[in-house]
Amino acid sequence: MRKAQETTLEIDLKALKHNFEHLKSKLDSNTKFLAVVKAFAYGSDACVIANYLQDLKVDYFAVAYVNEGIALRAAGITTPILVLHPQAVNFKTCVAHCLEPSLYSSKILKEFIGFASAEKLHQYPIHLKFNTGLNRLGFGVNDIHGIASQLKKSAVVKTKSIFSHLAASEDLNEKEFSLNQIQSFKTISEKFVKAVGYKPMLHMCNTSGILNYPEAHFDMVRSGIGLYGFGNSTVENKNLKPIASLKTVISQIHHIDKGESVGYNRAFKSELPVKTATLPIGHADGIGRQYGKGKGFVTINGQKAPILGNVCMDMIMVNITNINCEEGDEAIVFDAQHTSENLAETVNSISYELLSAISQRVKRIVLK
């Protein structure tokens, strides 16, 4: 195992393959797999991840915004790409790069059909998002008649899929709510097919939906966090491998006397002599200020070193009083053993937030 010489994010493609194959094993052979690679593939490297998954024959990709899809096309991705939250101002570039928009309201559907008509498109693939309880984006069941009416008036677009999103699929205490969502989506699907006269693909399951609700796999499933190594439960985490390891090094060691302070605003004041290490990583790299004042930690030579005082923009200081280490030694922020989920929990956050916050200035190293 290589040792870090600077702040780096290591991306383990073997772990990615393991996670993909594990999740695929939960599906019927004819169920398609959509890989969610928005937010730089959850803070890793979207182009690297997507190219690797494309080689593994993933069926679809999803991004949040059009510019993310454009970056994938520029990196050689030819697999279909669903844009989950397109804006009307980006329709032209969306179509120019063969990206497929998710349309979620009467306003944006009308706008896209108007654009497609002006561009003289023919059966351009669109995806329709239905709200079944997340209450974030999506049409309601009462919108189906209006949607069908708009679609039948023009041949410029064709519905490739209709989909929804489970709100609490990881929480088995909310099973009744999830089952109600699934039933609502089935009802919506039946009404939509009847109204438009053909059946598009249906998809609803996220990672936890894949694992907990096989009855809702439908024609395709979507996985984000599962590909990156987390199953939203202790049991499922054991079957997955975190793909990202964030490492840094000790830049300098200080000996702090009793009564001295460390960092901005003197947020740590020593009641005893302590030894500290300064590391070249801070809130501009994705380690938010909430991890300071002893909440967050790194691991040095197998031992936990709590963050002292406030997190700086480019640095953190950690307590190494009882750790045998030297300047230049490696410090692990998170890896497969000391996971991002464990670190995020120290500030009542989740792995998604910590991973997606890792700055693009952090050097990426791909382990093949």
| Catalytic residue ranges | 38, 264
Contact 16, 58 (CB under 8 A): no
Find all residues with CB under 8 Å of 245, minimum gap 6, and list them.
Answer: 9, 10, 12, 332, 334, 335, 336
Distance (Å, rounded) from C-alpha 98 to C-alpha 48? 20
Residue type, 318: V
3-state secondary structure string, 164-190? Answer: CCCCCCCCHHHHHHHHHHHHHHHHHHH
Q: How far is residue 14's CA from residue 20's CA, in Å, rounded to a whole number?
A: 10
Pairing of strands 81-83, 268-269: unpaired
Ordered alpha helix ranges (H), 62-124: 66-74, 91-96, 106-118
Question: Which amino acid, residue 148?
Answer: A
Q: Which residue has the tokens 């049991």?
A: 235
Q: Is 202 helix (H, G, I), strand (E, B) or coil?
A: strand
* E strands, the chain, in order: 8-12, 32-36, 60-63, 81-83, 100-103, 124-129, 157-163, 201-203, 220-223, 244-249, 252-256, 261-262, 268-269, 274-279, 297-300, 303-308, 316-319, 330-334, 363-367
- Between the alpha carbon of residue 276 and those of residues 34, 194, 230, the distances in Å are 45, 68, 32
Torsion-angle region of residue 39: left (phi > 0), alpha (psi -120 to 50) or beta?
A: left
Q: What is the C-alpha separation between 283 and 359, in angstroms, rounded?
A: 9
- Return the amino acid letter for 293: K
